[in-house]
Structure 1
Amino acid sequence: MKYKLIHKTQYRYFEKVNNYHSLVCLQPQTMVGQICKSFSLEISPKPADITQRKDFFGNIIHYFSIHIPHQELQVLATSEIESFPKKNPFYRDSISVEQAREIIWNTRALKIELLQYILPSPFINWDDEITLFAKSCFPENRPLYEGVANLCHKIFSEFKFVSNYTSIYTPIKTVLRERKGVCQDFSHLAIACLRSLGLPARYVSGYIETLPPPGKAKLQGTDASHAWISVYIPQLGWCEFDPTNDMVPQERHIITAYGRDYSDVAPLKGVIFSSGRHTLSVSVDVLPVA
Structure 2
Amino acid sequence: MESLSGMFAIRHVTVYRYARPVILGTHRLMFRPRDSHDLRLLDTALTISPPAASLRWLHDVFGNSVALAEFAAPAAELRFQSDIRLEHYAVDTPDFPIEDYARSYPFSYSADEIPDLGRTIERHYPDPEHRVDTWAKQFARPSGDGGLVETQPMLERLMRAIHDDFAYQGRDAEGTQTPAETLARRQGSCRDFALLMIEAARSLGFAARFVSGYQYDPERDPAAGGTPGGTTHAWVQIYLPGAGWVEFDPTSGGVGGRNLIRVAVARDPQQAMPLTGAWTGAPADYLGMEVSVTVSTDAAALPIN
Aligned to 1:154: 161
Aligned to 1:275: 282
- The 1:125/1:257 distance shift into structure 2, 3 A limit, reads farther
Cα pair 1:4 1:286 within 8 Å, conserved: yes
CA distance in 1, matches of 2:173, 2:47: 30
Aligned to 2:55: 50
1:252 equivalenced with 2:259 (yes/no): yes
Paired residue for 2:208, among 197, 201, 204? 201
| 1:116 alignment partner, SS class | helix
- The 1:237/1:66 distance shift into structure 2, 3 A limit, reads same
- The 1:88/1:125 distance shift into structure 2, 3 A limit, reads farther
Comparing 61-70 with 273-282, greater Cα deviation is found at: 273-282
Q: AA paired with 1:191?
A: I
Cα pair 1:25 1:257 within 8 Å, conserved: yes
Deviation at 1:167, TM superposition (A): 5.7
- The 1:97/1:126 distance shift into structure 2, 3 A limit, reads farther
- The 1:19/1:225 distance shift into structure 2, 3 A limit, reads closer
1:129 equivalenced with 2:131 (yes/no): yes
Paired residue for 2:33, among 28, 34, 45? 28
Counting only pairs closer than 5 Å after superposition, residues 35-184 of structure 1 correspond to structure 2 as 35-86=40-91, 88-90=94-96, 94-99=102-107, 102-104=108-110, 107=111, 109-121=112-124, 124-127=125-128, 128-140=130-142, 141-164=148-171, 168-184=175-191
Aligned to 2:295: 286
Superposed structure 1 runs of 4+ greater than 4 Å apart: 90-94
Aligned to 2:14: 9
Cα pair 1:2 1:80 within 8 Å, conserved: yes
Q: Deviations over 1:245-268 (max 9, x none)?
A: 111143421110100121011011
Cα pair 1:91 1:145 within 8 Å, conserved: no
Aligned to 2:145: none
Cα pair 1:97 1:138 within 8 Å, conserved: yes
Q: AA paired with 1:26?
A: F
Aligned to 1:226: 233
Q: Deviations over 1:199-251 (max 9, x none)?
A: 110001111111229xx93223x111111100011222111111111111434
Deviation at 1:90, TM superposition (A): 4.4
Comparing 81-90 with 201-210, greater Cα deviation is found at: 81-90
CA distance in 2, matches of 1:103, 1:265: 26
Deviation at 1:126, TM superposition (A): 3.5
Q: AA paired with 1:3?
A: F
Q: AA paired with 1:237?
A: G
Comparing 265-274 with 5-14, greater Cα deviation is found at: 265-274
| 2:156 alignment partner, SS class | helix
Q: AA paired with 2:94?
A: N
CA distance in 1, matches of 2:172, 2:28: 26
CA distance in 2, matches of 1:204, 1:245: 14
Instruction: Give the number of aligned pairs.
Output: 282
